[in-house]
């Protein structure tokens, strides 16, 4: 299994500002992902974080809004840029292990005012 930590656990931010979320995995994972969960909704994949190269974004998500870094196998960051109230969500980091199980971090609850 993999243990995934995220910080911050929650934040309240003002419109127009940016927030960077950090994700740390305790063991090597083959892939890392970032998801968003809007209030009362399911999880939506934002992007796959690729080590040492640009992330692969899903339809509807762009690098300018959600820049992602993954400098090594066990660490990634997601930035939510130029925030608006519509960005209020839980953001979840996820890691895929070599046995194909996908684990999730505890999430970052973001509120934009």
- Contact footprint for other proteins (CB under 8 A): 1, 4, 6, 30-31, 33, 41-43, 45, 48, 90, 92, 94, 96, 99-107, 109
Q: How far is the CB of 99 from other proteins (least distance, A)?
A: 8
User: Does residue 47 contact residue 66 with C-beta atoms inside 8 Å?
Assistant: yes
Smaller CB distance to other proteins: residue 13 or 43? 43
User: Does residue 76 contact residue 68 with C-beta atoms inside 8 Å?
Assistant: yes
Q: How far is the CB of 55 from other proteins (least distance, A)?
A: 13
Instruction: Give the CA distances from residue 20 to residues 32, 38, 89, 107, in Å, rounded to whole numbers and listed in that order.
Output: 16, 18, 14, 13
Torsion region of 74: left, alpha or beta (phi above 0 gives left; psi -120 to 50 gives alpha): alpha
Q: How far is the CB of 66 from other proteins (least distance, A)?
A: 16
Smaller CB distance to other proteins: residue 29 or 83? 29
Smaller CB distance to other proteins: residue 13 or 31? 31
């Amino acid at each position: 299994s993999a243990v995934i930590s995220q910080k911050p656990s929650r934040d309240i931010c003002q419109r127009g500002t940016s927030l960077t979320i950090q994700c740390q995995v305790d063991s090597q994972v083959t892939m890392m992902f970032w998801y968003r969960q809007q209030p009362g909704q399911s999880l939506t994949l934002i992007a796959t974080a690729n080590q040492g190269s640009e992330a692969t974004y899903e339809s509807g998500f762009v690098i300018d809004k959600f820049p992602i870094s993954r400098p090594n196998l066990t660490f990634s960051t997601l930035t939510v840029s130029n925030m608006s109230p519509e960005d209020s969500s839980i953001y979840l980091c996820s890691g895929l292990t070599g046995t194909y199980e996908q684990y999730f971090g505890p999430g970052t609850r973001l509120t934009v005012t």
